[in-house]
Structure 1
């Protein structure tokens, strides 16, 4: 693949209370043929993350049409799994006309740095606001997936809901800092709400150079599936992006070298690149992504040219 980077789409200027900074994990949803809504996590003056949106022209995604003045989903109640921040990774339409947002709750811990579990919120107004299905996670910690059950991508297909997500039960110390260790797993559900306690592993980490592979984004093709994902490389490299293909969504072949999208020589994405989300608009294909500092420099877009 060969991509042409179109630059930063949007970065907060500090005017919005819910997004003084950051525009993390761009998550697209078609509002209509001409408008793409990109859900992002912004952070307030204390660094707490909430979810809002940036609407862009589908044909020219560098053209911003609207930015939400308030978050569509706020943090959870004190003591809940999402009381210190929320972070969307997937939004999809359900048969009843509602929208389902699968999101990550950020929970500060004492013996480990944090715990990340998955929540579900529903919109009944076309994605303007979302309400939690419940105050507890739909992916709760389990014996085999103790600290991380998060970052899901969900697809309804063949009468079932299919989920590719992050799971892990380990931390390791890298250059004096505790860092999470996690990989990709797979689950199925009849209703998209109740899920098993543990999933099957998608592929193994390369522990020599990686300590995490996550934020999967799946594209269905006529002859199979594409997966775009983020790779947490061990220092000094940091985040990069990866790519895999599968005939059935279950058995994957890593083809990272074929992605063709890496850090720039200078600018907003010259250190790291992560959180890719790929959409087709007519005969064009766009990849929304973050660059340096997990979205601290905003989110950008690249167009597939070959």
Structure 2
């Protein structure tokens, strides 16, 4: 019915990507849809009118929504990460991290009946969007959102970016805080996306809120090893537009490279209600 949030591109052929996204039904529950786009021209090649994966049944960890993160390959099998939403009657919404299996034909199916990562002493309240990439040594690193409290004293939640590691892509060890936060400046983070720079460093983009009442913006952080990060909010390279679909809010970035160009898919006003757009890194 509404929204095209959390865009996630998977290369089909040539310049055409299948861009998966999270759309919402009449009850505000998100499921996974897709559209095929030529990223060199920005033209829509094909619209898919049926969902690729639906939110789960009542009582499941994704009963109230599926919000997607990124894809990775482990043991020759491709997986798509997602945040599974629960919105219990009389309780606060919360999330866990799950994953879908991606078939060679780009069909989606639930990979694990239980969450890949759920509550623990490290992540006591709620988890959100995750990003996984190989660590260069045969293992994997993950960065993901974790709620420390729903109100940090200024009416805004403290939702930080933590790190986890895995030797096989299936079993994860959570290590706690990765990206530094600052109350009143950057304290509600969401959907990290990570890429390597030309000099081999890690670059991360994410959406964040300050707690001042301002809507989401996209910030950045940098790291030499993916473990210790330097916050660089003013180095993201993108801000809200003067007018139009992304003039009030920008969020949920996904950075990827295509034919020597670094591209960013991202959402605008209304948490993806106005759709998603494509930005190109200028040299």
Q: TM-score band, normalised by the shorter chain?
A: over 0.9
**Aligned-pair CA distance for 1:24:** 0.2
2:134 is matched with which residue? 156
Cα distance in 2, alignment partners of residues 226 and 104 from structure 1: 22
Q: Is the 8 A contact 2:74 2:169 kept in 1?
A: no
Counterpart check, 1:107 vs 2:86: yes
The reply on whether 1:33 has 2:11 as its aligned counterpart is no
The answer to whether the 8 A contact 1:233-1:240 is kept is no
How far apart are 1:185 and its partner, in Å?
0.8
Distance in 1 between residues matched to 2:134 and 2:273, nearest whole Å? 32
Taking only aligned residues, the RMSD between alpha carbons, in angstroms, comes to: 1.9
Q: CA deviation at 1:65?
A: 1.1
Task: For 1:255 and 1:170, locate their aligned partners in 2 and report how far apart those are by CA, in whole Å.
Answer: 24
Aligned length: 281
CA contact 2:148–2:159 (8 Å) conserved in 1: yes
Q: Secondary structure at the match of 1:75?
A: coil
In the other structure, the counterpart of 1:83 is 63
Q: Determine whether 1:246 maps to 2:260.
A: no
Provide the C-alpha distance between the structure 2 equivalents of 1:174 and 1:85, rounded to a whole number of angstroms.
Answer: 28
> Residue 172 of structure 1 aligns to a residue in which SS?
coil
Aligned pair in 2 of structure 1 residues 250, 144: CA closer, same or farther (>3 Å)? Answer: closer
Residue of structure 2 equivalent to 1:171: 150
8 Å contact kept, 2:195–2:204: yes
In structure 2, runs of 5+ residues without a counterpart are none
Secondary structure in 2 matching 1:144: coil
Correspondence for 1:45 among 15, 18, 26: 26
Aligned to 1:124: 103
Give the counterpart of 2:44 among 64, 68, 75. 64
Contact kept, 8 Å, 1:99 with 1:126, in 2: the verdict is no
Q: Which residue of 2 aligns with 1:299?
A: 276
Give the CA deviation at 1:95: 4.3
Which of 180, 186, 192 is the matching residue for 2:169? 192
Does 1:278 pair with 2:258? no
Runs of 4 or more off by more than 6 Å in structure 1? none
Is 1:212 paired with 2:188? yes
Residue deviations 1:163-214, cap 9 Å, x none?
0111123111788xx6532101111112222212x32311321112333112
Output the CA distance in 1 between the equivalents of 2:28 and 2:242.
Answer: 28
d(CA) in 1 for partners of 2:180, 2:45: 41
**Structure 1: which 5+ residue stretches go unaligned?**
1-19
Q: Is the 1:85–1:107 Cα contact (8 Å) retained in structure 2?
A: yes
